Amino acid sequence: MAKEEYSPLMSVDPADAEERGENLPPGPATPRFSWMSRFSNVSRTCLVGIFAVETIALLAAIILLVMKPPHRVTTCTIHPKSHEVLYSPALDAVEHEVRVYNVGFEGDLSPFQIPSSPALDQAWSNLYNFGISRITKEEAARLPNKTHAIPGDDGHYIAELDVFHNLHCLNKVRMALDPDYYPDWRISTTNNHIPSQKNATDHVGHCIDWIRQSLMCSSDTSVIVWQWHRALNTSIVKGNVAHTCRKFDKIQQWAKDRMLLETYDPTVHIEDDIVVPIFHNDFD
């Protein structure tokens, strides 16, 4: 793997990094912090448990009129149930809406179905070029995985919502499909290699497989239907059906409000006292 030019989640390719909102010039940033969002459902479950234990202990003490209630050390571990989701600082931004997709064939094309051009690049860039975020330490402390502090920005941590990485990846796959326009995104597994151009095979391979896993992870259960077509005397599959969607605008706004504007120096290590919760993979 060509490490020097490829890093799957935090690109070191300057053009790519810039596109994804990294290494941008300094500017104001607006940290947001909602106290109410500090406790996830999991934490709330733990708290309810603690309160229940305390209440029972107190009642026992009153009834028996003996000494102190028993003291217990309660360790909170994360046992996600099948209906629960892991903490994300953007969970509060999640709202749903019904959307009908563009079918994507002649007659119902989306604005993204235009030939490769600066306008198309801009349209894609507008979807995710603010995707690297700056979150508070309180938010970072609740992540299921540890993230790194931003050097020179006390109490703030770097993060990226995966939807923006997904969109970045899909854009790279799109570019790889038009290597005459995007010579640095040519995949070179066959006899189409051009020595002066980059070999994007590994990066594109990573992206396709990441998108595959994301689609399976999301497992959209919206239903595509068949309807009778009188003129053709046949039922035909219909793509213009209703989908339950997360409001992308809201997720975009969340990221725009927290966009990392300072240059992130990944070579500076900052120790902190954040301990990730113990995660038990028993969703079933």
Ligand X SMILES: *[C@@H]1O[C@H](CO)[C@@H](O)[C@H](O)[C@H]1NC(C)=O
Interacting residues toward ligand X by CB under 6 A: 144-146, 188-189, 193, 199, 201-202, 233, 279
Beta bridge partners of 250: none
Closest approach of ligand X to the CB of residue 241, in Å: 25
The candidate with the shortest Cα–Cα distance to 85, out of 227, 246, 230, is 246
Closest approach of ligand X to the CB of residue 195, in Å: 8
Nearer to ligand X, 184 or 202 (CB): 202
Residue 159 and residue 125: Cα distance in Å, rounded?
Answer: 19
Q: Residue type for 279, please?
A: F
Measured CA angle at 160 (ends 255, 278), to 5 deg: 120
Nearer to ligand X, 70 or 144 (CB): 144
Q: Is the separation of the CB atoms in 208 and 195 below 8 Å?
A: no
Question: Kind and range of the H or E element at 98?
Answer: strand 96-100
Residue 21 and residue 249: Cα distance in Å, rounded?
Answer: 18
Nearer to ligand X, 144 or 152 (CB): 144
Closest approach of ligand X to the CB of residue 112, in Å: 28
Closest approach of ligand X to the CB of residue 169, in Å: 17
Closest approach of ligand X to the CB of residue 176, in Å: 12
Closest approach of ligand X to the CB of residue 95, in Å: 27
Closest approach of ligand X to the CB of residue 79, in Å: 12
Beta bridge partners of 206: none
Nearer to ligand X, 99 or 146 (CB): 146
Closest approach of ligand X to the CB of residue 187, in Å: 7
**HEC-encoded secondary structure of 114-179:** CCCCHHHHHHHHHHHCCCEEEEEHHHHHCCCCCCCECCCCCCEEEEECHHHHHHHHHHHHHHHCCC
Structure tokens at 78: 């994360």
Nearer to ligand X, 41 or 102 (CB): 41
Nearer to ligand X, 127 or 169 (CB): 169
* Angle separating helix axes 248-257 and 162-176, nearest 10 degrees: 110
Nearer to ligand X, 98 or 232 (CB): 232
Question: Kind and range of the H or E element at 237?
Answer: strand 234-238
Nearer to ligand X, 248 or 279 (CB): 279
Residue 149 sits at φ, ψ, to 5 deg, of: -70, 150
Structure tokens at 222: 């919206």
